[in-house]
Structure 1
């Protein structure tokens, strides 16, 4: 594993026979980019921000659930540095292979058990879904309450709730994989255009001219399909591309800033640090250790 990626180990979190850890936390810029030797279900309960996971930067908002396999590095970052006024609150449910074996008696379907084992063996990519009808949120809240104040039958209740969380998530993932609608072709063209012309000045009016949609329509499409405004999406796309260039090229930071559309390097530095929590030079150094 890359030494710049911290490894969180099971023994730090699992201090009982349950082999299960549930918490509710407010994300900040202090937790390092990390991987772990357990499976993690993370639910966005409040606020907005970004999930840096593997090589992706995913905008997050309330109702999003991530299932993170063993060994996949990630970290959540809030959208604002003022976390007291604009918190990003996450519920986490952590467990390892030992608990999977215990759940096997409850989870009868072979496909779901195999999915859990693949997550534990880092054989599948991370999962990202949107909660339907607040089912996942309800389960996360119940799990958190049960672990916070244990009582008679807590172990049975917790294993039942974890099984429900796994099955509910798998159902929604299955629906997403088999019933998800494609983006409108014109909107795909817009996203492709942005990806290919990051070095240029791009305005909403340019996209309107190319697509034939009004600026208001385009704005609604960005919110609907990306969860972000046009300007926010473009800004984070530029930072994501700059991360790739910092990792994989020898270009100076000033040139990278220009290649992704920033004419003022100070602005680039400020936006990069706000989104990633690091300066471009620090990020480059860590990515090459």
Structure 2
């Protein structure tokens, strides 16, 4: 996707609010994109990653990094995935140097523009990023007196807030990432067992509240959501690589109730386990 298709005004800035579907292909672009999940659930295919997304997640996509959002269901009327997008290129970065005084933040934007850094993901815990996105969208949609100044100010705030949260996250990770990595490892090792939050409290020494915050910060999901996706991911691997019956696979990934397994599997993959296995084997034999 090219800048001239979106950034044809004097501001070199484009803001929209859209409902994602299955039409837009996996794509890259020559501008920086800040994308905020405003409503619904789905998946963000970005680079080589597939990330489950929910309301409150913000992604910063550098120039040249391919990505696409997909809703959780093909029925986008009942299960919409609403995204706010803020797009700009190097020309706007140059303009923002008059507002943003910190050289390291300007360098951060230049690194995004020159594809020198990976994509960024943060979680909007206090709704401040959503407020900025809504203001950007309204000001862009219905310009008023001083709209240029207002939009540049709002974009600067968005950049600064994201950068500050990213820095704070990195600072926290210096102290906590090792402990949280142990929690993730513990879950993977015990995925076939019943895992409760009290077990994580016991093995980490953290409180339930601390663990909950770390899950949101590091994975964008709560504990139960992360565990469910991990179990379904493991079941997908077993369906592709083994001859085990579906009932045994469900047990191996921690489900004792088949109805719960089938419901979780279809919710996350959109297919039944048997349909998933059949399609995977057909794809493998066709390679």
Question: Following superposition of structure 1 onto structure 2, how do residues 1-289 of structure 1 map, counting pairs within 5 Å?
Answer: 8-131=1-124, 133-180=126-173, 182=176, 185=179, 188-195=181-188, 201-204=192-195, 224-227=213-216, 228=221, 232-237=225-230, 253=240, 255=242, 273-274=269-270
Deviation of 1:252 after TM superposition, in Å, equals 9.5
Change (3 A) 1:229 1:63: closer
1:92-144 residue CA offsets vs partner (Å, 9 max, x unmatched): 10011111112122222111110000000111111112225332222211110
Unaligned runs of 5+ in 2: none
CA contact (8 A) 1:26 1:89 kept: yes
Deviates more, 1:116-125 or 1:58-67: 58-67
CA distance in 1, matches of 2:68, 2:37: 13
Report how many aligned residue pairs link the two structures: 264
Deviation of 1:167 after TM superposition, in Å, equals 1.7
Deviation of 1:53 after TM superposition, in Å, equals 2.1
Unaligned runs of 5+ in 1: 1-7, 246-250
CA distance in 2, matches of 1:191, 1:120: 33
Q: Report the equivalent of 1:5.
A: none
Deviation of 1:235 after TM superposition, in Å, equals 4.5
CA contact (8 A) 1:57 1:240 kept: no
CA contact (8 A) 2:29 2:66 kept: yes
Change (3 A) 1:269 1:235: closer
CA contact (8 A) 1:190 1:211 kept: no
Change (3 A) 1:192 1:239: same
1:150-177 residue CA offsets vs partner (Å, 9 max, x unmatched): 2333222212221221122222222222
CA distance in 1, matches of 2:163, 2:92: 17
CA contact (8 A) 1:222 1:229 kept: no
Change (3 A) 1:197 1:122: farther
Deviation of 1:39 after TM superposition, in Å, equals 0.5
CA distance in 2, matches of 1:40, 1:144: 14
CA distance in 2, matches of 1:221, 1:49: 26
CA distance in 2, matches of 1:211, 1:222: 8
More helix as a share of residues: 2
